[in-house]
Amino acid sequence: MSRIIDGKEVSSYIKEQIRKKTEKLKNKGLTPGLAVVLVGNDSASKVYVRNKKAACELCGFYSASYELPEETTQAQLLELIAALNADNRIHGILVQMPLPAHIDADAVVKAILPEKDVDAFNPENVGRIMLGNHSFLPCTPAGVMELLKYYGISVSGRECVVIGRSNIVGKPMAMLLLHDNATVTICHSKTADLASVTRRADVLISAVGKKAFVTTDMVKEGAVVIDVGINRGEDGKLCGDVDFESVSKKASYITPVPGGVGPMTIAMLMQNTLTAAELSKRS
């Protein structure tokens, strides 16, 4: 039976550390500020935005939120970003994705100043992650690395397999593992004989977005299994990519969904905002 990796516990710990550091910064006259921008009525996005605002409050940040109607034009959104770029109360700008189809998400991401890009999606920050001289790490992969660190799981010299190659999860996840000296394989929908690759993994990370996708036959005995997926079962309940019931009997450590990687993403967003505020003081 595996040990459950408790993302709620780790994220609470990290947010508490951030709150303490923020208190000290505030005493020196600097309050970290995060702007969260939501365009449209996506209900899941609204929940994410609400959670981000609550985390800002908990950490003692200044937060500003902008809930714009679905018909907002790209020009209007870019105008708001320009104003937030120039606002020195704001150290981080997060535009909640997905954006409505008539807005070019790449143009929006590029418009955010790299030093305020706390999602780390701007091409400059993506490139810096590749080079290993980053200020911010993308929140979800960084959250996974923090979970591993908290539980004392080293990836150095070990076989790590990432399923999924998206720009926001799979690719940066692989890069962070590589920076920590793992031997990394990235799998995707064209990978031949996926199970034979995943069975090699000492650490298996799934970011696919399909319920019960990772089954026991795909997992090596004693592997660490990290489930990034967020899906809904037929019963409407949240679940990950991993068939938790069976895989948890074979893995040494496993993240549940909910309560695993999810809470870490917001904690790392808070970490990036604090870093952005600290860096603004130095510039």
Residues in the site for ligand NAP, rule: CB under 6 A?
A: 140, 163-166, 168-170, 187-191, 194, 207-209, 228-231, 261-262, 265
* CB of 23 or CB of 104, closer to ligand NAP: 104
Structure tokens at 5: 């990796």
Catalytic hit among 6, 15, 116, 119: 119
Cα 188–193–195 angle (5° rounding)?
85
Measured from the CB atom, is 92 or 170 closer to ligand NAP?
170
* Helix pair 7-27, 139-150: axis angle to 10 deg: 110
CA distance 123 to 261: 24
Closest distance of CB 271 from ligand NAP, Å: 14
Catalytic residue among 6, 96, 117, 220: 96
Ramachandran angles phi, psi of 124, nearest 5°? -65, -45
The answer to whether 119 is a known catalytic residue is yes
Count of beta carbons in the 10 Å neighbourhood of residue 86: 9
- Catalytic site includes residue 271: no
**CB of 147 vs ligand NAP, minimal distance in Å:** 11
b vs e for 153-178, b when ≥16 Cβ sit within 10 Å of the residue's Cβ? bebeebbbbbbbbeebbbbbbbbbbe
Residue 24 or 193: which CB sits closer to ligand NAP?
193
Closest to ligand NAP by CB, 163 vs 274, is: 163
Q: Decide: 211 and 244 in contact? Cβ < 8 Å.
A: no
Smallest distance, ligand NAP to C-beta of residue 140, A: 4
Q: How far is the CB of 84 from ligand NAP (least distance, A)?
A: 23
Residues tagged active-site: 52, 96, 119
